[in-house]
Chains A and B, each alone.
Chain A
Amino acid sequence: MRTSGARGTQLANLGLVLGVLAGISMAIGLYLGLVYAPMDAVQGNAQRIFYIHVPMAWVAFLAFFVVFVAGIMYLWKRELIWDQVARSSAEIGLVFTTLVLVTGSFWGRPIWGTWWTWDARLTTTLLLWFIFLGYFMIRAYAGDRGRAATFSAVIGIIGFFDVPIIYLSVNWWRTLHPQAVITLSGAAMPGQMVWALMVCLLGFTLLYAYLMVQKLAIEQAKDKLIDYQFALSEREAEGVTAA
């Protein structure tokens, strides 16, 4: 997507750079993770999904943090750019949260023999998914964009404070209520695994930035369209009054 003017070209260039960097680092990271890193002693090759799953989770929570900050800024400044950032990040966050749940499920199946377990991490991610959903639902039903922006900012802020509390409460629920405790990552990881993970994390972060730039351009274009429609209706009103 192109937005017009110098700003638009800057954004497009930034997007291009980010895209290339993301592509390169993800390619390297995936190679490191899927080929180079040693096979896990306990879990076998199924463990390799870890190199995708963990970075995706990181992106999901990063996206949520951005929604939180942008939400506060919007409530404070009432400037549309903050809402554009928030809703772009929320959409990316929702997608990545979905992916985390799916990859987590696919990872869990061979390891635990079950598609799902109610441990703190998974449960919190599931709740995060629902908070993102609530974010978009209230936007959909809010009516005008000012209300949509304000209400969803509130959901984002409340949700962000809530997620750690959810994690804590589910954790206690499980530990104070004895159940089979399952850990996703074992003891100290060998150096090669750590490297692979780091590169993947970098790659996915760059991917997030790249997607943000693209999405932001789209959202800005949407708002621009509304502005043009407004200008058009103003033009018509002028014509009517002059008559």
Chain B
Amino acid sequence: MRDAMGRVSVVVWKDLLTEVRTKELFGGMMIFAVLTIITFNFAFDLTGTGRAASGAGAMWVAFNFAGFLGLGRSIALERDRGSLDGLLLCPVDRGTIFLGKFIGNLLFITLVELISVPIFGALFNLDVIQATLLLVLVLGTVGFAAIGTLLAVMAASTRAREVLLPVLMFPILLPVIIASVRATTMILTHETGDLLPWLNLLGAYDVLFLAISYLVFDRVVEE
């Protein structure tokens, strides 16, 4: 068990170190997220009184799109350099490899979100600095990263690659999107009476799909 955790951490360490040195993924995702939010401002009225609701939606859509970008790129990188094979050669449980990749993706996407949120709050005059918002960010992103890591590996070994990823993910992610947006809106408007059911939904979704992805990853990377 300790051994497995050590291996998960070293996989995460490797991805983080690579990203710190190249800033390939992070930069692209960050800019994409901010630009998307800005575009949404002109697509919808994000300055009026209803801006918390539309703003929450715009924010999560931006995060999802940036997430697709990041997932697709990171897996494509692994494939092109054959590094996925290098990982599969190691005497390591495939589930452990999955966890390492999942945590790496989770950290990247969450970091993009953490930096985007204050920018977003400033641009649209919304009260974003709240602890519960952080919780919703994490819960929403865990679900996204769990399913995303699994499906990105699948999509990467097909001809269509990145195009396929959003097509597969959006229907599956719908509950996460609904729950995250509703919860975010509630937090932004300080009407958190019905917040708990949404958080529970996110939590249950996360546990369920993290477990399924972990178990199934072995078969997905098999040749």
**Which A residues lie at the B interface, using CB under 8 A?**
75, 127, 130-131, 133-134, 137-138, 141-143, 147, 150-151, 154-155, 157-159, 161-162, 165-166, 168-170, 172-173, 176-177
Contacts and interface: CB of A to CB of B under 8 A. Distances in A.
A137 B164 contact: yes
A127 B182 contact: no
B91 interface: no
Interface in B209-223: 209, 212, 216, 219-220, 222
Given A155-B168, A158-B209, A169 B159 contact: no
B220 A168 contact: no
A134 B198 contact: no
B122 interface: no
Given A141-B160, A143-B159, A147-B157, A169 B222 contact: no
Contacts of A170: 174, 178
A162 B194 CA distance: 22
Nearest to B175: A169
Given A127-B174, A169-B175, A177 B182 contact: yes
Contact of B178 (A158, A159, A169): A169
A154 B150 contact: yes
Contacts of B171: 127, 130-131, 134, 159, 162, 166
Interface in B188-219: 194, 197-198, 201, 204-205, 208-209, 212, 216, 219
B84 to A, nearest CB: 15
Contacts of B178: 169-170, 172-173
B159 A141 contact: yes
6 contacts: A134-B168, A137-B160, A141-B164, A142-B157, A150-B222, A158-B172
B175 A165 contact: yes
B66 interface: no
A166 B150 CA distance: 20
B219 A161 contact: no
Nearest to B211: A161
B141 to A, nearest CB: 17
Contacts of B38: none
Interface in B101-158: 147, 150, 154-155, 157-158
B179 interface: yes
Given A127-B174, A138-B158, A150-B222, A75 B201 contact: no
B182 A141 contact: no
Contacts of A172: 178, 182, 197-198, 201
A170 B171 CA distance: 12
- Residue among A75, A137, A158 with most chain B CB within 10 A: A158
B90 interface: no
Contact of B182 (A134, A138, A159, A176): A176
B210 to A, nearest CB: 12
B147 A158 contact: yes
A75 B194 CA distance: 40
A173 B181 CA distance: 10
A139 to B, nearest CB: 10
Nearest to A130: B171
Contacts of A150: 219-220, 222
B175 A168 contact: yes
Contacts of B216: 75, 154, 157
A150 B223 CA distance: 10
A52 B209 CA distance: 34
Can you list the 3 inter-chain pairs with the closest CB atoms, starting with the nearest? Answer: A141-B158, A169-B175, A130-B171
